[in-house]
Structure 1
Amino acid sequence: MKLTSLLLATVTASLLSACIYINKGGDSNSDWEKTERENKAVISSLQINTAEMDIRSRLGEPDFSEGYTDNDADVRVLFYRTQRQKEDGITSKNECTPLVFRNGKLIGWGDKAYSSHQNH
Structure 2
Amino acid sequence: MKSSVSTRQLMLAATVTLSLMLSGCVIAIHDGERESYSATQEAQSLAFSVSDLIIGSSINEVVDQLGGAVDSEGFERNGKTYIVLYYVFNTSRNSATTPLVFVDGKLVGWGHQVLESARAD
Give the TM-score band, short-chain normalised: 0.5 to 0.7
TM-score, structure 1 as length reference? 0.63
TM-score for both structures, normalised by structure 2: 0.63
Distance between the aligned counterparts of 2:106 and 2:46, measured in 1? 19
Q: Which amino acid aligns with 1:69?
A: E
**Which is higher, the Rg of structure 1 or of structure 2?**
1
Of the three residues 45, 52, 63, the one matched with 1:45 is 52
Runs of 4+ in structure 1 displaced over 6 angstroms?
none
Task: Name whichever structure is richer in strand by fraction.
Answer: 2
Q: CA deviation at 1:31?
A: 3.7
Structure 1 segments unaligned to the other structure (5+ residues): 1-23, 86-93
Query: Deviations along 1:72-118, whole A, 9 cap, x unmatched?
Result: 11100100012336xxxxxxxx3011100001000000122111112
Give the aligned CA root-mean-square deviation in angstroms: 2.3
Structure number with the bigger relative contact order (C-alpha 8 A, sep ≥ 6) is: 2
Identity of aligned residues (%): 29
Matches of 1:40 and 1:116 in 2, distance apart?
Answer: 24
Which structure's residues are more often helix, by fraction? Answer: 1
Structure 2 unaligned segments of length 5 or more: list them.
1-33
